Amino acid sequence: MSPPRPRRPKKIHFVSLGCPKNRVDTEVMVGVAGLQGYALTDEAEDAEVIVVNTCGFIGEAKRESIETIFELSELKKQGACKKLVVTGCLSQRYPTELSAQMPEVDHFLGTSDMLALGKVLDGKAERMLVGNPADWVIRASDPRVVTGPKASAYLKIAEGCNRTCAFCTIPQFRGKQRSRPIDDVVREAEQLAAQGVLEVNLISQDTIAYGRDLPKEGRASLAELVRRVADVKGLRWVRVFYLYPETMDEALLDVVANHPRVVRYVDMPLQHASDAMLKRMKRGHGIDRQKRVVERLRKSIPGLTFRTAFIVGHPGETDRDFDELCAFVEWAEFDRVGVFKYSDEETAQSATQDAKVKPVTITSRWRKLMGLQRKIARRKNKALVGTDVEVLVEGPSEEHELVMAGRHQGQAPEIDGQVYLGGGEVHAGQVWRARVTQASDYDLVADVLGEEDGPLAGPSAKPKKKKVSLKVVGASA
């Protein structure tokens, strides 16, 4: 009698929408699914279970989430899908409405229910599993499978937010600030390094407020956390995201400026530059303090890459307010800028404010500010031609399979540009020194250096001396 064939694992497909914090939550659910014997598939048509981790931050993100859910629900009729699960911010924010309007969805989980996916996969869960957001803080002991390039990972250091920005609803469905104990964060950093991760990106909703909610006895500062993570053996780069624009203490400035494995990169969303708008947005400060923060960061951290974000079209924004914002961007010469178009959120304070800005005006202002920043970014990129940079290789370029792409320290994953590498054979997960030869608005071309010494980090490989010619890189305006 022949032995029974091994049972093929069921397949599960994940869609993660929104921010990197959502990505981490999705990766925990991928780990949960693995423990339940499910195999991850990139093809939604082949999956017996489909999980959509939604974003509910702004109107455009909500529309994308809803469209994705309806699109994937069709696979219950045509594909292998037997179970459709919706998780994350949208279901946390609108559980009753979604339950009534989406009979196609088998289970709803909120922003605190990542581990509850196990009950869903066991077939022992009720349809509505949206819990209290205050119940969830990720732990190093939670299952997690890093998705995307294996040499880079996000590390969430806190959940929720205590700010009261007028335009933001995140505290309503993510809860108040809940910082992780520093030892637990470091333990997860060690686990990531053991898996071959070279770059760790520290994230939360309000990173600069890390630790303030913890008991005073044994409370850790953000500076101590960054230093301890950067001291983890095997890590190469540590990057800090989402710093609120308040005064950074000397200890944090020192660790960003001087620790050899902390990237000199600051992500600090400023949102606007007009006193009137900052007051309407309830940001708790004005343009003078923002200028002092920018000047102090530039002075204290040589070679700083400064990324920020702004909102255009917030209620009450006049032509004068917008002109002040443009003048501020020209003065500050930020390295990276994201610009968001304002949209009313029904439970946000901004939605009740008068003097709404017309959508056509919002779009016009968005285009103007993006165009202004594009010129600054192009000038800064062109200044890098002829210089040497360290590049973390991520994999083949989407533009050309013969060209490998990566990022230098001033390029954060997924949101900034890339470096396209020629002049040698390199492999994903390595850090190489390269010389910049071309530049566009956001991307660079560079030739690999150091053929005799090999990669600076990552698995060793002797490169072949091969030249790759690039005709087009990025898009120049």
For residue 179, give every residue at least 6 positions away whose Cβ sits within 8 Å of its Cβ, in sequence order, or none: 157, 158, 204, 209, 210, 211, 212, 213, 214
Residue 451 confidence (pLDDT): 54
Task: Kindly report, residue by residue over 190-208, the tens digit of the pLDDT.
Answer: 999 999 999 999 999 999 9
Residue range(s) defining the domain that contains residue 477:
384-477
Q: Are residues 128 and 178 in the same domain?
A: no
Looking at this protein, which amino acid is placed at residue 90?
A: L
Cβ atoms of residues 233 and 428 within 8 Å: no
Domain count of the chain?
A: 3
For residue 297, what is the enclosing H or E element?
helix 287-300
* Residue 174 and residue 270 in one domain: yes
Helix (H), strand (E) at residue 40:
strand 39-40
- Give the pLDDT of residue 467: 46
Answer whether residue 4 is part of any domain.
Answer: no
Domain check: are 410 and 421 in the same one? yes
Nearest 5 degrees, angle CA 367-CA 331-CA 254?
115
Residue 401 clears pLDDT 90, i.e. is over it: no
Q: Do both 302 and 273 map to the same domain?
A: yes
Q: What is the mean pLDDT of the chain?
A: 89
Q: Does 230 share its domain with 119? A: no
In a shared domain, residues 353 and 363: yes
| CATH number for position 86 | 3.40.50.12160
Token code pair at residue 49: 């279970």
Determine phi and psi for 159, rounding to 5 degrees. -120, 155
Q: Is residue 142 part of a domain?
A: no
HSE-up of residue 112 (Cα within 13 Å, Cβ side): 19
- Is residue 152 very low, low, confident or very high in pLDDT (cuts 50, 70, 90)? very high
Does residue 178 contact residue 133 with C-beta atoms inside 8 Å? no
Q: Who's near 352: CB < 8 A, 6+ residues apart?
A: none
Which tops the pLDDT comparison, 399 or 283? 283
The answer as to whether 147 is a domain residue is: no
Higher pLDDT: 174 or 276? It is 276
**Structure tokens, 401:** 């399979």
Residues 73, 95: Cα–Cα separation, whole Å: 18
In a domain, 321, yes or no: yes
Give the pLDDT band (50/70/90) at residue 474: very low
Assigned token pair, 340? 């968001």
**SS3 at position 152:** strand
Per-residue confidence band for 277, with pLDDT thresholds at 50, 70 and 90: very high
Contacts of 105 (CB under 8 A, 6+ apart): 69, 73, 84, 85, 86, 98, 99
Q: Is 145 part of a structural domain of the chain?
A: no
pLDDT at 4 exceeding the cut of 80:
no
Flag whether pLDDT at 463 surpasses 60: no
Locate 257 and state its tokens.
């400026």
pTM equals 0.90
Do 46 and 193 have their domain in common? no
If asked whether residues 347 and 274 sit together in one domain, one would say yes
Within a domain: residue 138? Answer: no
Same domain, 290 and 325: yes
pLDDT, residue 450, reads 67
Residue 389 belongs to a domain with what CATH number? 2.40.50.140
Q: How confident is the model at residue 310 (pLDDT cuts 50, 70, 90)?
A: very high
> What CATH number is given to the structural domain containing 184?
3.80.30.20
Backbone angles phi, psi at 338, to 5 degrees: -110, 140
Per-residue pLDDT at 468: 43
> What is the number of alpha carbons within 13 Å of residue 137 lying toward its C-beta?
17
Alpha-carbon gap, residue 323 to 315, rounded angstroms: 16
Residue 31 CA to residue 140 CA, distance in Å, equals 12
Same domain, 372 and 394: no
Q: State whether 315 and 235 are in the same domain.
A: yes
How many whole angstroms separate alpha carbon 75 and alpha carbon 11? 14
Residue 144 in domain: no
pLDDT score, position 446: 94
Of 85-89, 213-217, 335-339, the range with the lowest mean pLDDT is 213-217
pLDDT at residue 2, rounded to an integer: 56
- Is residue 339 located within the same domain as residue 349? yes
Q: Which residue's structure tokens are 């994308």? A: 64
C-alpha radius of gyration, the chain, whole number: 23
